Amino acid sequence: MIQAGYETLVEAGYAPEMAYFECCHEMKLIVDLVYEGGISEMRYSISNTAEYGDLTRGPVIVDPATKERMKGILKDIQSGAFAKEWMKEAANGLPRFKALAEAGKKHPIEVVGAQLRGMMPWMKKNRVIAEGLRLALIFGHRYCASARLMTITKAFNTEVTEGAEKNLGREFDSGHRG
């Protein structure tokens, strides 16, 4: 939704930098307000214009059809179809995952965002994910993913699962165990 908002503004002639601030950079403020006081408190804290837009235009974007698609995705998760798809993807070396992740990194909002954040020296100082923590999270994620795979293994073909675990392990820890 952030990327679609950015694209919509840029396509309408807004400067990419302004679109970045409106759609991405301000998300931290919104999320912090929701985290601290809930959705109603966030609405109270923003401008009346923004609150009116949220209340009247939000339901146009996230409408009953969106909710139906969300229910369909939830069914895929609950039925195990999503897990099976992910296991197959991992067993095959993660080609779609890697392509989509790479495309995401190259999206114009990422390029503009990196340029703008580069002009904000306080951003590096206050980064939530510093390099050491980032590595710990990656390694930790690999082992969490492995534990989930072990649990799911019972439900799927052992050969596919072992291939998926092997590829996930290679992706998340480059073969290092520790």
User: Cβ–Cβ contacts within 10 Å for residue 10, how many?
Assistant: 19
Domain boundaries, the chain: 1-62
Of 9 and 131, more confident: 9
pLDDT exceeding 90 applies to what percent of the chain? 66
Residue 167, pLDDT above cutoff 90: no
- First-to-last CA distance in the chain? 38
pTM confidence score: 0.69
Average pLDDT over residues 123-148: 58
**CB burial of residue 6 (10 Å; 0-12, 13-18, 19+):** buried
Tens of pLDDT, residue by residue over 2-59, are 999 999 999 999 999 999 999 999 999 999 999 999 999 999 999 999 999 999 999 9
For residue 30, what are its two tokens? 């919104």
